[in-house]
């Protein structure tokens, strides 16, 4: 956490900055409630610290640090100018999230209605909506929004949430105070996440924090392997039409699918490829490794691997097949088994002098080492021979 001065059109405003100081990192901006009391001025700090731990950058201005920007005094127009100026100073076009508590919540709603591209999401804790219009509320209902409130809030009673809930199409009525349970209740309704606690008064209570952190933190990048599978032509196996099924199978084959069933599919390693006949048995479902196989996957995997590797021996005439399955973070943590044909009379280029050298041929090819890349036509020929062996009714047999 470091101190920061926002150079606003109304003069300097003190702020605290949490997390990495880089304009490349997603920024969250938190706007306080109206009171100058320290517990209100610092009320966003616990959330800011937790987001900092997730490598998210958070800026919390203290609008009471300048007479002209004090909550309750500053006009909406000046507030908007101040926020836009802060974004320019912080070199950010769009906030990951704009957060407002009470007075700050009302200001954030009005700001985002006017400047919808300034933030991708909006977090409101017991916002004071006295000065916001129905039009503003329906404008922000186009935005991913989190709304949190305590049933016993005496400063801004929870009934004030109704226009916002209605703007998001939330039916309301079902949510009634419970029996002073400490656990928050969370309802997802389209773009709205609606969190309530029985007891919390007009505060950002610690019980909110885990849900707030989870909601703000961006989803991890999608798995590369899942994206690769999703990009294949559609699989029409579930359709009854034989013509459609055949057309789909042909389209998937031309996209590199050599064989598949409901759980697995097999493809030859794409260029750069270091080993002719390097096949990958890829799970259709996303999971990291055998410890998270479903019962069906666990049951069928051994038989599938046996069939695939027998076909690889048959197609290549290799002496044996080496198998490795890592599910590394680099691949998206998606299970796939590498099947490598090994020839005793054609040992791999030595890298470590161990049997692992067969796998390291891929590293040499990826690094562009001269002569390391396998011949593409040869890879295609072996892939076709393997496909034939898998589909040939005479072999490879599923025999003991």
Phi/psi for 320 (5° steps) reads -165, 170
> Under the criterion CB under 5 A, does residue 226 sit at the interface with Zn ion?
yes
Determine if 225 is a binding residue for Zn ion (CB under 5 A): yes
Size of the site for Zn ion (CB under 5 A): 6
DSSP type of residue 208: G
- Cα 22 to Cα 19, 91, 92: the distances in Å are 9, 9, 10
Residue whose CB is less far from Zn ion, 205 or 232:
232
Q: Is 268 in the site for Zn ion (CB under 5 A)?
A: no
CB of 210 or CB of 329, closer to Zn ion = 329
Least distance CB 222 / Zn ion (angstroms): 8
Specify the residue, 310 or 334, whose C-beta has the smaller distance to Zn ion.
Answer: 334
Comparing every residue's Cβ against Zn ion, the nearest one is 223
Find the DSSP H helices in the chain.
38-41, 45-53, 76-89, 103-114, 134-140, 162-167, 209-216, 224-230, 242-254, 295-316, 357-366, 376-391
Q: Which is nearer to Zn ion, 217 or 331 (CB)?
A: 331
The CA-atom distances, in angstroms, between 76 and each of 58, 72, 80, 82, 96 are: 22, 10, 6, 10, 22
Local structure of 13: helix, strand or coil: strand
Q: Which is nearer to Zn ion, 61 or 332 (CB)?
A: 332
From the list 121, 112, 108, 125, the residue with the least C-alpha distance to 44 is 125
Shorter beta-carbon distance to Zn ion: residue 222 or 271 = 222
Q: Which stretch binds Zn ion (CB under 5 A): 3-11, 204-212, 217-225, 379-387?
A: 217-225
Cα distances (Å, whole numbers) of residue 43 to 32, 194, 212, 309: 7, 20, 14, 61
326 lines the binding site for Zn ion (CB under 5 A): no
Q: Which of 170, 334, 336, 387 binds Zn ion (CB under 5 A)?
A: 334
- Binding part of the chain for Zn ion, among 117-125, 142-150, 154-162, 280-288 by CB under 5 A, reads 280-288
Of 269-277, 328-336, 342-350, 375-383, which segment contacts Zn ion by CB under 5 A? 328-336
- Which CA distances in Å does 87 have to 27, 59, 82, 93, 96? 9, 10, 9, 6, 12
Interface pick for Zn ion out of 49, 286, 306, 381 (rule CB under 5 A): 286
Which one of 209, 213, 223, 232 is in contact with Zn ion (CB under 5 A)? 223
User: Six-digit token pair at 295?
Assistant: 């019962």
With a CB cutoff of 8 Å and minimum separation 6, the contacts of 164 are 124, 127, 129, 137, 141, 145, 147, 192
Q: Pattern 85-124, binding to Zn ion, x per CB under 5 A?
A: ----------------------------------------
Kindly state the smallest distance separating residue 288's Cβ from Zn ion, in Å: 9
- Cβ 371 to Zn ion shortest distance, Å: 33
Element (DSSP H or E) covering residue 338: strand 336-342
CA nearest neighbour of 308 among 352, 339, 278: 339
Residue 232 lies near Zn ion (rule: CB under 5 A):
no
Using CB under 5 A, which of the segments 191-199, 296-304, 324-332, 354-362 binds Zn ion?
324-332
Q: Please, which residue, 71 or 332, has the CB nearer to Zn ion?
A: 332
Contact 76, 107 (CB under 8 A): yes
What distance in Å separates the CA atoms of residue 343 and residue 316, rounded to the nearest whole number? Answer: 9
> CB-wise, 9 or 224, nearer to Zn ion?
224
Quick check: 308 and 281 in contact, CB under 8 A? yes
Kindly report the backbone phi and psi dihedral angles of residue 338, in degrees, each rounded to the nearest multiple of 5, phi listed first: -85, 130
Per-residue binding string, Zn ion, 149-188, x by CB under 5 A, is: ----------------------------------------
Q: How far apart are CA 289 and CA 62, in angstroms?
A: 49
Q: Which stretch binds Zn ion (CB under 5 A): 38-46, 75-83, 327-335, 379-387?
A: 327-335
> Binding to Zn ion by residue 325, rule CB under 5 A?
no
List residues binding Zn ion (CB under 5 A). 223, 225-226, 286, 332, 334
């Amino acid at each position: 956490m470091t101190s920061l001065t926002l150079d606003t059109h109304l003069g300097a405003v003190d702020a605290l900055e949490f997390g990495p100081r880089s304009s490349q990192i997603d920024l969250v901006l938190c706007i306080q409630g109206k009171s100058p009391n320290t517990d209100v001025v610092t009320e966003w700090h616990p959330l800011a610290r937790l987001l900092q731990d997730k490598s998210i950058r958070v800026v919390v201005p203290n609008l009471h640090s300048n007479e002209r920007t004090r909550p309750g005094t500053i006009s909406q127009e000046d507030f908007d100018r101040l926020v836009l100026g802060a974004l320019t100073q912080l070199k950010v076009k769009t906030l990951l999230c704009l957060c407002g508590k009470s007075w700050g919540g009302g200001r954030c709603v009005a700001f985002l209605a006017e400047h919808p591209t300034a933030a991708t999401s909006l977090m409101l804790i017991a916002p004071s909506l006295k000065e916001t219009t129905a039009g503003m509320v329906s404008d922000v209902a186009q935005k991913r929004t989190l709304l949190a409130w305590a049933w016993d809030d005496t400063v801004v009673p929870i009934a004030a949430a109704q226009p916002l809930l209605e703007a998001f199409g939330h039916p309301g009525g079902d949510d009634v105070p419970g029996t002073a349970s400490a656990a928050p209740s969370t309802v997802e309704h389209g773009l709205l996440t609606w969190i309530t606690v029985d007891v919390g008064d007009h505060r950002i209570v610690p019980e909110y924090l885990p849900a707030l952190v989870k909601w703000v933190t961006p989803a991890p990048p999608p798995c590369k392997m899942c994206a690769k599978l999703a990009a294949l032509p559609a699989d029409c196996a579930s359709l009854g039409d034989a013509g459609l099924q055949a057309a789909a199978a042909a389209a998937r084959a031309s996209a590199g699918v050599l064989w598949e069933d409901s759980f697995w599919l097999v493809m030859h390693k794409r260029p750069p490829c270091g080993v002719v006949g390097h096949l990958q048995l890829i799970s259709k479902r996303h999971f990291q490794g055998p410890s998270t196989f479903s019962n069906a996957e666990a049951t069928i995997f051994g038989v599938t691997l046996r069939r695939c590797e027998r076909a690889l021996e048959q197609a290549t005439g290799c002496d044996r097949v080496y198998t490795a399955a890592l599910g590394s973070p680099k691949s998206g943590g998606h299970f796939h088994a590498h099947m490598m044909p090994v020839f005793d009379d054609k040992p791999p280029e030595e890298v470590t002098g161990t049997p692992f050298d067969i796998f390291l041929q891929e590293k040499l090819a990826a690094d562009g080492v001269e002569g390391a890349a396998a011949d593409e036509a040869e890879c295609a020929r072996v892939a076709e021979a393997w496909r034939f062996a898998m589909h040939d009714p005479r072999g490879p047999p599923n025999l003991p």
